[in-house]
Chains A and B, each alone.
Chain A
Amino acid sequence: MIVQIDPVKQTGKKYWRSLEELSNTSQFRQWVDKEFPSGAGEMLDGNSRRRFLNIMAASMGLAGLTACRRPVEHILPFAKSVEEQIPGVPLHYASVFSLGSKAQGLVVESNDGRPTKIEGNKKHARSLGAASGFAQASVLNVYDPDRSQVVLEAGKKSNWAKFAEFWKSQNLGDGEGVRVLTTANISPTLAGLEEQFLAKYPKARFVEYEAINEDELLAGSELAFKQRVRPVYDMEKARVVVSLDSDFLLHDAAGLDTIRGFARGRKNEHEISRLYAVESNYSTTGAQADHRLRLKPSEVLGFAADLAREMGALPQGLKILGQDGKFGKWVKAVAKDLNEHKGTSVVLAGSRQPAAVHAVAALLNSALGNVGTTVEYVKNDRPAMGESIGKLSAEMGSGAVKTLLVLGGNPAYTAPADSGFASNLSKVGSVIYLGAEADETAKTAKWHLPQSHFLESWGDALVDGIASVQQPLIEPMFETMSAIELLAMMLDKQGKTVELVKAQWKLDDKAWRSALHDGVIESVKPESVKVAADAKAVDAAVVAVKKPMSGFEVGFYPSATTYDGRFGNNGWLQETPEPMTKLVWDNAAIISPKTAEGLKVVQGENISITVAGKTVNVPVMILPGHAENCVSVALGYGRKVVGRVGKDVGVDVYPIRTAAGMGFSTQATVAKGTGTHNLVTTQEHFYQEARPIVREATLAKYHHEKNFATAEDEHIDEYSIYGYHKYDQGNQWGLVFDLNACVGCNACVTACQAENNIPIVGKDQVEKGREMHWIRLDRYFSAEGEHSDDPQVVYQPMGCQHCETAPCESVCPVAATTHSPEGLNDMAYNRCVGTRYCANNCPFKVRRFNYLNWHKDMEESMKMVSNPNVSVRMRGVMEKCTYCVQRIQEKKIQAKVEGRRELRDGEILTACQQTCPAEAITFGNINDPNSAVSKLKKKDLNYGLLKELNLKPRTSYLAKLRNPNPELA
């Protein structure tokens, strides 16, 4: 309260604020009376007891009102300034994201000490500046309120000190009966600690297990080359690509460089590469294929072997699929095409396929002279994981394991069904589980130790000769430890974890600093291995594999959203539509329409799949283009012990995944099951209705008719009574989506979600059509006729098109959406009253309305992931893609600070563009004829959607080209 003190009565030194106050004129007193509510000064009178009681009574009465006050917020300044921290300006740090036996370099944005946005590291060869959806969404896990936060002993709260006591009290002796189960260990620091652990406990054993692993790939290389090596592809050089059930554009990609290389090979409209895909499930790779052959998973080997025999890489022998008919024609055509592209072709095998297929692929690559040009092989010493967990489980079952230390990975959920791992856990003396979640494994463990997130702990990764440091961005949110820290503690190592990592790499200070800065350790270089293929051994392996079965087959693939189940509690990923089915918050049994007919099931009805005596009931999703008589199911769903997000989501199919059938099983029995399940997709209609939405042509047609993309556009008489506003001054923003490059991987969707604080809404709201994604990937089938069994698939990224004559703007009654002078269609959230008229009038339906308060149930910790530069929208307002206007402003300010008048082309990257591994998105100033975006817009493939509506969209598309082999036409 402001109290006016009578300056006359004041004693001591006199202070005054103005000359008027000093002179204390009557005008001044009047002014004071007006300025401050009368009575404010009465408190000081102090002579009236009644007055005092009055006020007391009143304040007692008013005390109740304080409950209505907003909570007090304290603004606490940094007592000590953080190094390099400018308030409001984010900092970026390099780190690395490991998933299975792959690693991706990252640059992580930190806002006031909170990691908020994950981006790719340009200097990391597996990232090249892009980041996968998993990597980007992993930042949400840091703030997951359902994370394990404290040490649990037999399910009861404990602490680290008690665990340390327990560990010391154990008499481990020489390590007899001690087993340590880790996830794929690609961290040299951890490996170093393992060595020291083994030195201390020589009889202990380390076992690595990942549900999604490269066992078959490495086994295949052993067959063909007699050494464990992994192929690294240079897809840009490949003119002919043959995929043997390899989803190298999503799950089977060693890194995002594979996507980038492939996309570059497809972007040059004069000479695009050719892709043959042989697969059972319709993958994102299949969607890019010029020719796609549907085969059951077990038949792929037959195709591979026939191809190799046709080409002479394998000795002549019985052709498995036969020489005639469709397969024969395919084999001949592909063989011819490959032979014509020696050294510029590549054959890839999918991780689901058995070692023999990988061996054939390796053999073909080396026979074609591709090694050294499009393929290089690097050493990889990951052990055979499926085998070793089986052995471990057997040991556990026999009671030989006294202490089992599990370092992450949730093996109780992901282990092969016939290994009996989960049940054998109870036969182990003490199970110590370091895990990020209180999951299936944690439930059975004696000690559950909370694990740090990779953004909270030091570490490193070395894959394919690329070394990077995992640099933390934040102190652990809870009392957690990383695997490195735990082992260090067990080995009584003192000091900071960072010193362990530093010591491992033996770098001097300068090199260490540059490794932290770049995210990559420069001194470590990838070394390719010389290989020599052994055709005889491969032939023997091919012959040894049983012939294709006639029965049902079930193929397992990693979920595009939960991976192997580890992202089950990640809302961003759960709500990201599966690339091909557009399914959210679920997995499903994917079958072809004909197979569904045979099984007499419709979409959403359950089928029962039985493998090795175990049965699961999975709802059916019908996907044209899927191979007949086989089922594809995604792993990673139906988690039983999981946080709130992943609860009751999907079906667990691990019970039917045996060690012998990790990729697919030929022994499946499939029948109509019981009950139905409500499957929710973000897109329900997949046929373009013959509308010119995605424009596509063959390369041959394009050469014949360069302007095919716009040839059928209606001529628009650009007449307006008012005249059009001329957007010809300064920056004029525009964007191009290259349909030849886009592989539908969803990385942009997650990038946009993280950058623009886009809420998740949940399955029931998605079903109502209320998902909030600002960018979506529309997926259409194309085929001769609507219901073809073997359609082609195209993707089309769709966000606000920023029409110059935007139909949304003219209908908003309160002018909440208007055009900026730079051609952006802006949304003023706090002016919006929410009539939804704009969304109705948007022909692209890209506007998203906050139907409910999506942030209502958001946990405090989850709020920390928000980007402070983007407002969180309240319920009742409309929102949509802004072309990342905050990024535009940021760079404009920066340019101004630096005294530049003009922005550099490519300086501003939208979030989707920045993370796109395929470089399918180009943003920039269309007013500058030399900008990349202007050049793309001048291409003859460039077209705008719905031209007849005269919208003048700033977003345009480059029409898609396919390069089919005339011999297969």
Chain B
Amino acid sequence: MAQDLLEEKDKLYLERMNQPLVHGDPSYHEVTRVVSEIVEVRTPKAWYIAIGITGSITLLLKMMIVYLVANGIGVWGNNAPVGWGWDITNFVFWIGIGHAGTLISAILFLFRQRWRTSINRFAEAMTLFAVACAGIYPAFHVGRPWRAYWLFPIPIADHGMWQNFRSPLEWDVFAVSTYATVSALFWFVGLIPDLAILRDRATTKIRKTVYGVLSLGWRSSSEHWKNYEKAYMILAGISTPLVLSVHTIVSFDFAVSIIPGWHTTIFPPYFVAGAIFSGFAMVVTLMVIARWVFKVENFVTMKHLENMNMVMLATGTVVGYAYATEFFIAWYSGNPYEQFAFINRATGPYWWAYWTMVSCNVLSPQVFWFKSMRRSIPVMFVISIIVNIGMWYERFVIIATSLHRDFLPSSWGYFRPTIVDILTFFGTFGLFLTLFLLFLRFLPMIAVQEVKGTIATDKH
């Protein structure tokens, strides 16, 4: 009987696994055509309108940065005791968003999760653009941004002295720059075969030249494929620890300090889970729009979306568990400062931020326990946005509420963002979306060659 049940379960599992990842049974050529044509058609008016809007927002970001550099950090709301406000909140927020891309492309690749093929290009692009947005903050949140390069151990650095390698912020410099470099490389290597397709299909001289140069002479020879697969595998191998390390090290900025609410050992796993959580939420938000606009529902199927929603449910619950653990440890430690920090989070002046965070991150993804919900486009769209709001709040809660009331009550304060804080953050969305629109317009948004591989597996 038990044996039967097990077999039944196995059968169901196999059936589920054998569901085709690509719908509509397209031919290889069909895949090439559908994906390539998005890039090759005459630029639609809507694209111009869209990039006009996002471009303007990006300009706003630029203006805000110029204003910031001209006047000083005082144009933001940062103060004493809250030395970091929206700047580092937004930095961690964007870095977190980036995580889904690397996870999908590297870890899922190594785990042979074939369903990743339809979304990995998209998610990787998102990673890069999110890291670009994130990078703005550490560079410009320093008091003297023209000296920010002193954080890099460049031999020509003016003072002929080393950086302080005990500082988590210094570790951050290496972690984030490595992450950005490897992600860019990984993304580009994956693009090469598809760029070659675009080159081969190109009709104008400019396209021929540009894609020709970018595809690095790819001729789809076996030798090329062999090297390609090897390179891809190696890069995936390099990227995998990065998924864990980047956010671990970002969390060290807090965990290594002595401030109650920051000084906790749970931060590395907690931050990584949160990052994956927010990253997948962002992929879902963007993917839902993209598959509808570009009519690629056959490649990015409900199965892909559902899988991502399940990842969100899992990571969201991990994050919720982390919230609970923090409170438990604060109580269990018997440390009055630690206890105060957490009670203050939930009931102090920033109670609203804390409860916004909990409801968005812990409660909202619970609807994905229901299959109908996690397969409903409107539901997942709304939840994915709510999750990202919640994850932004999580960073804000960690940074601002821990800093605003620490050891000596005499120096307690409060943080209020200024209009420059708000517009700068708004502007980073402009930059993110502008880069995305450029990506959608000029590069294949779905990994054509990889999807073809998936179809082949489905068929045979």
Binding site for B on A (CB under 8 A): 683-691, 693, 765, 768-770, 776, 778-780, 796, 798, 807, 809-815, 831-837, 839-841, 843-845, 847-853, 874-878, 946, 949
Contact = CB atoms under 8 A, between A and B. Distances in A.
B377 interface: no
A850 B143 CA distance: 8
Interface of B: 71-75, 77-84, 141-144, 147-148, 150-151, 159, 161-164, 166-170, 173, 253, 256-259, 336-337, 340, 403, 405-414
A847 B411 CA distance: 11
B81 A835 contact: no
Instruction: Tell which of B73, B75, B83, B151 has the most Cβ of chain A within 10 Å.
Output: B83
Contacts of A811: 166-169, 256-257
A853 B150 CA distance: 21
A765 B74 CA distance: 9
Given A691-B336, A815-B164, A839-B80, A844 B143 contact: no
A852 B408 contact: no
A849 B146 CA distance: 17
A834 B73 contact: yes
Contact of A833 (B150, B253, B258): B150
A836 B410 contact: no
A833 B162 contact: no
B167 A693 contact: no
B84 A851 contact: no
Contact of B81 (A693, A812, A832, A845): A845
B409 A837 contact: no
Given A811-B168, A840-B259, A845-B411, A770 B163 contact: no
Given A689-B409, A691-B336, A876 B256 contact: no
A948 to B, nearest CB: 8
A131 B367 CA distance: 69
Contacts of B408: 691, 693, 778, 798, 843-845
25 contacts: A683-B411, A684-B412, A685-B405, A690-B336, A693-B409, A778-B408, A796-B410, A809-B164, A811-B166, A811-B168, A811-B169, A812-B167, A812-B169, A813-B167, A813-B170, A833-B142, A833-B150, A840-B257, A844-B407, A851-B73, A851-B79, A852-B73, A852-B74, A878-B143, A949-B258
A779 B143 CA distance: 31
B67 to A, nearest CB: 12
A361 B153 CA distance: 72
Nearest to A951: B258
Contacts of A844: 407-408, 411
Nearest to B164: A815
A779 B411 CA distance: 11
Given A684-B413, A810-B167, A840 B141 contact: no
Contact of B167 (A834, A837, A840, A875): A837
Contacts of B79: 768-770, 851
Nearest to A949: B258
A691 B142 CA distance: 33
B151 A813 contact: yes
A807 B167 CA distance: 10
A833 B74 contact: no
Contact of B143 (A691, A841, A877): A877
Given A814-B150, A835-B141, 4 more contacts: A798-B410, A811-B166, A843-B408, A850-B143
Contacts of B414: 684, 769
A769 B81 contact: yes
A796 B408 CA distance: 11
A956 to B, nearest CB: 15
Q: Is the interface of A mostly helix, strand, loop or mixed?
A: loop
Q: Which of A693, A807, A833 has the most CB of B within 10 A?
A: A833
Contacts of A832: 143-144
A94 B398 CA distance: 55
In the A-B complex, list the 9 residue pairs whose CB atoms are closest, starting with the nearest: A834-B143, A876-B143, A851-B74, A769-B79, A836-B83, A852-B74, A778-B410, A845-B411, A815-B164
Contacts of B169: 811-813, 835, 837
Contact of B80 (A686, A849, A877): A849
Contact of B82 (A691, A769, A834, A876): A769
A874 B148 CA distance: 16
A917 B72 CA distance: 38
B255 to A, nearest CB: 12
Contacts of B80: 769-770, 839, 845, 847-849
B74 A770 contact: yes
Contact of B78 (A688, A851, A874): A851
Contacts of B150: 814, 831, 833
A841 B161 CA distance: 23
A693 to B, nearest CB: 6
Given A837-B167, A841-B257, A849-B80, A780 B410 contact: yes
B159 A853 contact: no
Contacts of B74: 765, 768, 770, 851-852, 875
A780 B409 CA distance: 9
Nearest to A875: B72
Most chain B C-beta atoms within 10 Å of own C-beta, residue among A691, A796, A833, A835: A835
Q: Select the residue from B81, B173, B405 with max chain A CB neighbours within 10 A.
A: B81
Given A810-B166, A845-B406, A834 B413 contact: no
A837 B83 contact: yes
B406 A814 contact: no
A807 B411 contact: no
B77 A834 contact: no
Contacts of B148: 833
Among B72, B82, B408, which residue has the most Cβ atoms of chain A within 10 A? Answer: B408
Contacts of B81: 769, 839-840, 845
B162 A689 contact: no
A843 B258 contact: yes
Contacts of B143: 832-836, 849-850, 875-878
A527 B120 CA distance: 95
A763 to B, nearest CB: 14
B412 A685 contact: yes
B407 to A, nearest CB: 4
A831 B150 CA distance: 9
B415 to A, nearest CB: 9
B151 A833 contact: yes
Nearest to A778: B410
B83 A813 contact: no
Contact of A687 (B83, B159, B173, B409): B409
A876 B142 contact: yes
Contacts of A690: 336
A801 to B, nearest CB: 11
Nearest to B168: A811
A769 B83 CA distance: 10
A849 B73 contact: yes
A841 B258 contact: yes
B78 A836 contact: yes
Contacts of B337: 691
Contacts of A779: 410
Contacts of B151: 813-814, 833
B258 A691 contact: no
Nearest to A768: B79
Contacts of B259: 840-841, 843
Contacts of A687: 409
Contact of B173 (A798, A813, A851, A853): A813
A764 to B, nearest CB: 10
Contacts of A834: 73, 142-144
A807 B257 contact: yes
Contacts of A693: 408-410
Residue of A688, A780, A839 contacting most chain B CB atoms (<10 Å): A839
B153 to A, nearest CB: 10
A812 B164 contact: yes
B409 A877 contact: no
A814 B163 contact: yes
Contacts of A769: 79-82, 413-414
Nearest to B344: A689
